[in-house]
Structure 1
Amino acid sequence: MSALPGPGIRTPDQRLRVFVSSTLRELADERRAARAAIERIHLAPVMFELGARPHPPRALYRSYLAQSDVFVGIYAESYGWVAPDEEVSGLEDEYNLAPATMPKLIYIKSTERRDERLTELIARIRSDDTAAYLPFETSGQLEEQLVGDLATLLAERFDAASATPPAAPQTEPAHAARVPAAYSRIIGRDREVAEVVELVSSGRDRVVTLLGPGGIGKSRLAIETAAAAGSRFPDGTAFIALENVLEPDLVLPTIAYGLGIRDSSERPLEERLALALHGRRVLIILDNFEQLVDAAPEIVRLYDLAPDAVFLVTSRIVLRIRGERVYEVPPLSAMDSAAPDSVTRAAGSPAVELFVERARAVKPDFSLTQLNTPAVVAICQALDGLPLAIELAAARMRLLTPAAVLQRLDTRLRLLVDSSRDVPQRQRTLRATIEWSTGLLAEDERRLLWDLGVFSAGFTFEALESIGAGRPWEPRMIEGLEALVDGSLVSQSDVSGEPVFGMLATVREYAVEQLGELGEERVMRDAHAAYIDALTRRVAPELGGPSQREAAGRLDLERGNLRTAVRHLADIGNADLATDIAWRLYLYWWLRGLFYEVRRWMDELMERVPDASDHARAVAEFYHLWSEMWTTNEGAQVIAAFDETADLFAASGDDLGVTMAQATRGLAQVTLGQPDDDTLPLLEKSAESFHREGLRWGETLAHIALGRVAWSRSQTDEANRQFGAALAAAEAGGDPFTQTVARHHLARVRLLSGDMETAARGFSEAMRVSLSLDHEEGIAYAIEGLCAVAASRGDAEVAATLAGAAETTRQRITMYDAPQFVYHTRFLDAATTAANIDDVRRATERGREMSAAEAAEFAFAHVAVSHG
């Protein structure tokens, strides 16, 4: 079996993806074992779990395979079902579609009987030199065997990486909101893509707005433009989804977060954006801006902050701001007038080509004929060339003929067009198509679609099950979801190996409208909020332990739903539940740098519920003060306000809240440079309280604050003791994030004490864990530490390279340490004084071109450290 192809192992934000192929019901236990094995070594399982369909959804699992790195096949007795008009089962089809260069791990379960066709497939696999053929008996044995085999593959990948020249620098932020993958090819938009690429690249326009009604393909055109224009924006492209952002003052924070700027700094947001984007030519895509059109002037503010950035906006409404160029996205043409005859002319038109491709996804043998071409063309023309409407109609080809679709659709279109003359034509057409498409569903399937409208951009099986109790669709949940996916009303994708479902905004709007007409919107929004409440209760405790990465990733999937739930709770005045959810996710907001958004929720909540309980007010005030602590010049007022917040927590009986408020008061005093006689006793008491409660992450942070006070007073031994206590607490809790924070501080003290080898090991381990967490600030700290180590050894060029890389990373994420805690520059200055100034300058520039992950790889390769 060959090693994994390509250059070195992926950075943590691009985890290796393992595609798992097997029959579903027969091997359910084995699939769970495979998922567990893959996640044990922090890879991403890709598992197509929706279940059997009348036709294999080849386009979907082909796209899954295209994004995967390893193929795992698990086979036992069953060959799997062969759909009508298909020659092989989905099981064999997946194997056939796996690229020849993809490593394949094939596990064969011992059994006394096996389908003949599966036996033939296994025999073929044995002759495949890219596949490893391995027997197993039990699911437990499979799990252990898969862990070992994947670990071997990773080792091969590392070996290959060491012999492979480094890849070209990637300057896109590790946290940037990446452009979504396209799960199908774009049809009939070559001219539009070329025109929009020219508009965003010309330098004449700061904002290009893709304008058009829902369903016309604005987002898809933006995605294709980003791919085509990539080389013209050397500093990257960020895709900012705004569908679930309704508050105008969250536009800039959402853009900042999408650019990888964490909200945990003493600098104002505008200043951080200016720093992060200074001199960088980037394309920033703002998708679904129509509900935020009042915030359009915020984009104009970015003109001065980011003079080299270009904005591509999708909207149903013109923004009407300075520097805007509007590009109206046209419908797809339904005829090709240059073709010689009617069938060829129709087949060559973009609208008909789209219809045929989507029809073949559900009915593989569908083709245009002299008999059905007139109906297909008429459908595309009746639907005004709207891509979404065409897809909805084509999805019905499994059961209906084009003539039958045209007859039923035409009736619905005429009814709606006649009754809604105050609505623009294409909006009426799309609504009519959605109504017609949902009218073909069974009643329980329609009710399922309406209920799904309460979710934000995505939802999981777990979420669906949580709101299903007593609903009409509950007994047929899987079948109903399959019908919605097959009808193109619900989409399915894979996020970190988990199936995630979603709806386009236009379909969701229609679903919520129908739910409201049934008088059940409040019921379902309450159920949705209850799901978020239960989810956060279960996941939040894991944020402070060994499963931190997995817990944070699970919450990342639900960020839009978190926002939707809290917004609903604010609307109905349920301040207690809204603040309970926000309070238990404190560590998540910190890890992801989302404090500004939480503060915005809390401030709005207090405006709506002025008579909120003491505990709700305490939580809201805590988050407000946390943001103020980093930006205010009124340090004494913030410190006093934390005392008042502690009193509110005490009045509500929340001892942990009291400890948190007091500990943060002490941290504020350290951060603001205003420690007094109460600071140390307060922090020591907080550390003891956190320890009693078993909250080792809190204990860790309290000891770090104590150590920073000692450090600022040049009390090296005491700082070493406190940072050592912080690391011990973090290791006892198993929390990777606070372990890295403690290791950084302890390594700094060892460095300043002259213990270079111990410091190097500490920085190296902290960087390794920061990489696994995709935490760029932690990576920057470690790079600076190893820069100092290299400089102390007289390796000026390596030190300068690392200093340049750290500088770039800090600029991009706008995270800077307090001046009294910046230390690597003194080592760097001493080392470079005696070095060739041109060599140092060139090394610094090389470092500035590196991403954080590339700088980490360079540090491991060039600074002699031992791990562990």
Structure 2
Amino acid sequence: MGGNVRGAGTLPVEMTRFIGRRHELSQARTLLSRGRLVTLTGPGGIGKTRLALRVAAEVQRSFPRGVWLVELAALEDGNRLTQTVAARLRLGNEAIGDPLARLVDHVAGERMLLVLDNCEHVLDASAALVATLLTAAPDLQVLATSRQTLGVAGEQVLPVPSMVLSGNGGPSPELCDAVALFADRAAAMRPDFALTGENTSVIHEICRRLDGVPLAIELAAARLRALSAQEILLRLDDRFTLLTAGSRAALPRQQTLRAAIDWSHDLCTDQERLLWSRLSVFSDGFDLPAAERVCSGDGIRQRDVLDLVIGLVDKSVLAGEERGARMRYWLPDTLRQYGRERLAASGEEQKLRERHRDHYRAVAEQAEAEWFGPDQLAWFTRLRAEHPNLQAALEFSLGEHGQGREAMGLAASMWIHRLGFGSFDEGRQWLGRALAIDEEPSPQRAKALFVDGLLAVLQGDISAADSRVQQFRVLESALGEDPDLIRARVTLAGLVALFQGAFGQAVPLLAEALTRHQAAEDAGNAAVTSFMLSTACPDPDDPAGTVHAERCLALCEAHDAQWSRTHALWVLGLDHYRHGRHRRAGTLVRHALKDKPLSHDQWGVAQCLEVLGWCASSADRAERAATLLGAADATWRVAGSALTGLGHLQAGHQQCEAALRSELGDTAYAAAVEAGGRLTLEQSVAYALEESSAPTPPPPADEASAPLTRRERQVAGLVAQGMTNKEIAAELTISRRTAEGHVEHILTKLGFTSRAQIAAWAARNHGSDAHDSAPTAP
């Protein structure tokens, strides 16, 4: 047996302050209490070693024979692993006898913790040795760090995440673990350094741009010797050049960010390296079919992509999580930039971007073809997840000479995404750019004109929509009388008339469009046109409105189109309201609202809130009705629209408003409308469904304790456009975690609880604090 004394071991003294990681420390201790082998995994620079050493220090009293650290990073040959461990445990002359036998004899019966650091490059030897020692020594425990799991029976794996980037419950959400780490290391470099109101948000953004990776944060902090925080932030696009010159005492791979990633790159096989570079073409994630279609060929067989993806996940290069029925993967931002450099150097970048564009064009076209069916909601979810990739595909097409039609086709195919996602502004901006670079007559241009006109109508921008109708007529004469062109033009002209409130013009146009859709066996557009026709029949003595609404519902149910069915229920409720059946109308509209996926259909939610307000007024619930009208108005704005441009609903709204002002008085009416306008989307829906008895709006923005930063105002503007955190990240060229953090900060500073409130606030403050520097989506 070894002659170790109680408390022996080889843990080094900490030279810098340990920051954060409370949750990971707790998890690691729990895993050690449950099993004998715990492996901390993660990419280079994530802090596996530092975390392992802190865990080992905290539990060392539980190991009478000590905690022993064996550093393997400098070991070049796995054949010398056993001798290295034996020497570290002070077993004397390693030349005497079999080192494995002596090592097994030494640890047998001893209660000790062996910390094996950086196992990844001697993985097979590490796994074999650990398995042998654990079998021979029931009281031995092993804590390993590796970029890849050991694969030993009984192994418990703890992936080490990035440092916490959101608030820790302190006075400011920006005072998180990542910022605390930066500040601590910065103070060591510059004794005069201190966090201030001016530099904290900049440092927070630096940490987010660096994905919360401790090594990168420490290297950035070291640059404060020569640069300001703002200058560091501005240079992060060239982070591999900027983040150099770490501690001279550290291993070479820990002295620069590039060296840390080079180490991971060197651990990969040639095919894994090739796939890594090709995967960098994706924006904020991808699924396996996308990787197979875009990245296979020229050295990678399609059937091998899955194994290569698994290999990159195992080596902590790729991250992944389950999203519904699909796994979704992504390269952390720094690893993606590294891969993009490799891709550019390979000469494959142009080819990969073309494949990427072609794949997402096919995705958009498939979504369009299948939108009116049982997968409707699944397509909305998928298109939202792929929004950054669709943006990248559009941007590539718009930047390529002679690809205007490709861009128009892709942008127009995404109309289902615009309806489900509500991003009308962004859709029109893409379409506008595409239409501007290729003005030659083509079917793609015709479709782009139609979709742009449709989105303009839904925004209430009737003049722009009417302009598209006139352009369509000119284009139609150039292309000849094609049945599809005629029905598109007639449909758009009917919608323009409807939203102007010109029902006499709208009905015959929409009726003609319906006949043409039916002849073409286009059930989806027949349902939409039936919906619009029903809204164009306000006369309670005219049974046509009911006929059209019931046809719409029947088509939706026949095709199991659940999202469209909510609109059909709404229009049937509107028809009942117009016929004086107010109770039945409220029931139908509440059913529609209850079944709506809120994040997919804010425009539809606004419709429901509006008509439920009318129903409440008819039931002598005046204050409730005014509150619902206020909630509806705020939701219209969040959706990028406004009731003032929706002529088919204006008469009903005006009648309801006049009745409420008469009953409540102007002051009480205005107060109730304001209260409704300050509700979150979720609160509005709960109130409308009578799940809450009274609205509980958050405090107004002017009562918030802190103003928004310039970047936060930009993010608020993009939230108002309906963008998700991923889409905001793509728009501003920041990481997804950065976008998430900005949204969290906005919620905290403004006292809000939902994105809908941010959007409504931004809409109210348009042109001032919320949007003074908000970018326009391309």
> Quick one: distance in 1 between partners of 2:243 and 2:553?
67
What is the deviation of 1:445?
1.5
Structure-2 residue corresponding to 1:544? 372
Instruction: In structure 1, give the amino acid aligned to 2:558.
Output: A
Q: Does 1:466 align with 2:296?
A: no
Look up the match of 1:753: 579
Letter of the aligned partner of 1:729 in structure 2?
A: L
2:579 maps to 1:777:
no
Distance 1:674 1:639, change over 3 A: farther
Q: 1:468 to 1:772 in 2, by over 3 A?
A: same
The verdict on how the C-alpha distance between 1:844 and 1:619 changes in structure 2, with shifts beyond 3 A counting, is closer
- Aligned residue in 2 for 1:219: 209
Q: Which amino acid aligns with 2:312?
A: L
State the TM-score, normalized to the length of structure 2: 0.55
Match of 2:545 among 696, 711, 719: 719
**Contact conserved, 2:287 with 2:327, CA < 8 A, in 1?**
yes
Q: Which residue of 1 aligns with 2:419?
A: 590
Alignment length (residue pairs) = 510
Describe the shift of the 1:847–1:497 C-alpha distance in structure 2 as closer, same or farther (beyond 3 A). Answer: farther
What is the DSSP-based 3-state SS (H/G/I as helix, E as strand, rest coil) of the residue aligned with 1:501?
Answer: strand
Q: Secondary structure of 1:455's match?
A: coil
CA distance in 1, matches of 2:512, 2:600: 32
TM-fit CA distance, 1:702: 1.8
Letter in 2 for 1:469: S
- CA distance in 1: counterparts of 2:432 and 2:321, whole angstroms: 35
Distance 1:460 1:792, change over 3 A: same
Contact 1:750/1:758 (CA < 8 Å) preserved in 2? yes
Q: Is the 8 A contact 1:791 1:799 kept in 2?
A: yes
The answer to whether residue 240 in structure 2 is matched with residue 406 in structure 1 is: no
Q: Which amino acid aligns with 2:498?
A: V
Q: Select 1:503's aligned residue among 331, 342, 360.
A: 331
Q: Distance in 1 between the 2:635 and 2:213 partners?
A: 26
Q: 1:185 to 1:859 in 2, by over 3 A?
A: same
Superposed displacement of residue 565, structure 1: 2.0
Matched, 1:705 2:532: yes
Note closer, same or farther for the CA distance 1:859–1:537 as it changes in structure 2 (3 Å cut): closer
Superposition deviation, residue 626 in structure 1: 4.2
| 1:695 maps to which of 519, 522, 537 | 522
Q: What is the CA-CA distance between 1:762 and the residue it aligns to?
A: 1.4
Q: Please say if residues 211 and 333 of structure 2, whose CA atoms lie closer than 8 Å, have aligned partners that are also in contact.
A: no
Match of 1:665 in 2: 493
Change (3 A) 1:694 1:587: farther
- With over 3 angstroms needed to count, the CA separation of the structure-2 counterparts of 1:596 and 1:331, relative to structure 1, is closer
Q: SS state of the match for residue 803, structure 1?
A: helix
The Cα shift of 1:554 comes to 0.9
User: Structure 2 counterpart of 1:858, which letter?
Assistant: Y
Residues 700 and 325 of structure 1: is their aligned pair in 2 closer, same or farther, counting only changes over 3 Å? farther
Which of 684, 688, 707 is matched with 1:855 structurally? Answer: 684
Match for 2:269: what amino acid?
Answer: A
Q: CA deviation at 1:615?
A: 1.7
- Two-structure CA RMSD over aligned residues (Å): 4.9
| Cα separation, 2, equivalents of 1:833 and 1:675 | 28
Partner AA of 2:371 in structure 1: L
Deviations 1:16-41 (A, max 9, x none): xxxxxxxxxxxxxxxxxxxxxxxxxx
Query: Where does the alignment leave 5 or more consecutive residues of structure 2 unmatched?
Result: 1-36, 47-126, 135-152, 157-172, 188-192, 215-222, 237-241, 694-778
Structure 1 residues 846 and 742, CA gap change in structure 2 (3 angstroms): same
Task: Give yes or no for the alignment of 1:798 onto 2:624.
Answer: yes
CA distance in structure 2 between the partners assigned to 1:197 and 1:735 by the alignment: 54
Q: Distance in 1 between matches of 2:194 and 2:648?
A: 52
| 1:559 counterpart letter in structure 2 | H
Structure 1 length as normaliser, TM-score? 0.50
Task: State the shift of 1:663 in Å.
Answer: 0.6
Measured in 2, the distance between the counterparts of 1:614 and 1:607 equals 13
Task: Report the Cα distance in structure 2 between the residues aligned to 1:382 and 1:637, rounded to whole angstroms.
Answer: 53
Separation in 2 of the partners of 1:223 and 1:857? 41
Tell whether 2:359 aligns with 1:531: yes
Secondary structure of the residue aligned to 1:198 is coil
The answer to whether the 8 A contact 2:534-2:545 is kept is yes
- Residues 512, 666 of structure 1: CA spacing in aligned structure 2 closer, same or farther, 3 A cutoff? same
Structure 1 residues 691-742: Cα deviation after superposition (integer angstroms, max 9, x where no partner) = 233432311222233334332x776433333333333333333333433333
Q: Say whether residues 1:644 and 2:474 are aligned partners.
A: yes
| Deviation at residue 764 of structure 1 after TM alignment | 1.0
Q: How does 1:376-415 map to 2 (within 5 A)?
A: 383-384=244-245, 406-407=251-252, 409=253
Q: Structure 2 counterpart of 1:709, which letter?
A: A
After superposition, the C-alpha distances for 1:826-867 in whole angstroms (9 at most, x for unaligned) are 446546755699987776565344222222222323699xxx
Specify every segment of 5 or more residues in structure 1 that has no aligned partner in the other structure, as ranges: 1-52, 61-81, 89-115, 122-179, 202-207, 225-315, 317-323, 333-380, 391-401, 414-428
Of structures 1 and 2, the one with the larger relative CO (CA 8 A, separation 6+) is 1
Candidates 565, 569, 583, aligned match of 2:393: 565
Counterparts of 1:587 and 1:522, CA distance in 2: 29
State how far apart, in whole Å, the 2-side matches of 1:531 and 1:472 are: 19
Q: Deviations over 1:629-675 (max 9, x none)?
A: 55364776443223234456656x6x444422321122123224567
Cα distance change on mapping 1:724 and 1:575 into 2, 3 Å: same
Secondary structure of the 1:861 match is coil
Please identify the structure whose Cα radius of gyration is greater: 2
Partner of 1:37: none
Residue aligning to 2:511: 684
Equivalent residue runs for 1:290-689 within 5 Å = 326=230, 383-384=244-245, 406-407=251-252, 409=253, 429-474=256-301, 476-485=304-313, 487-496=315-324, 498-570=326-398, 571=400, 573-606=402-435, 608-609=437-438, 614-626=442-454, 630-631=460-461, 633=463, 637-647=467-477, 655-673=483-501, 679-689=506-516
Secondary structure of the 2:329 match is strand
Which residue type is aligned with residue 668 of structure 1? V
In 2, are the aligned partners of 1:599 and 1:620 still within 8 Å (CA)? no
Alignment check: 8 A CA contact 1:727 1:743 kept = yes
**2:411 maps to amino acid:** A
For residues 270-299 of structure 1, give each alpha carbon's deviation from its aligned partner in whole angstroms, at most 9, with x where no partner exists. Answer: xxxxxxxxxxxxxxxxxxxxxxxxxxxxxx
Q: Which residue of 2 aligns with 1:307?
A: none
SS at structure 2 position matched to 1:188: helix
Q: Is the 8 A contact 1:218 1:329 kept in 2?
A: no
Specify the alignment match of 1:198 in structure 2: 197
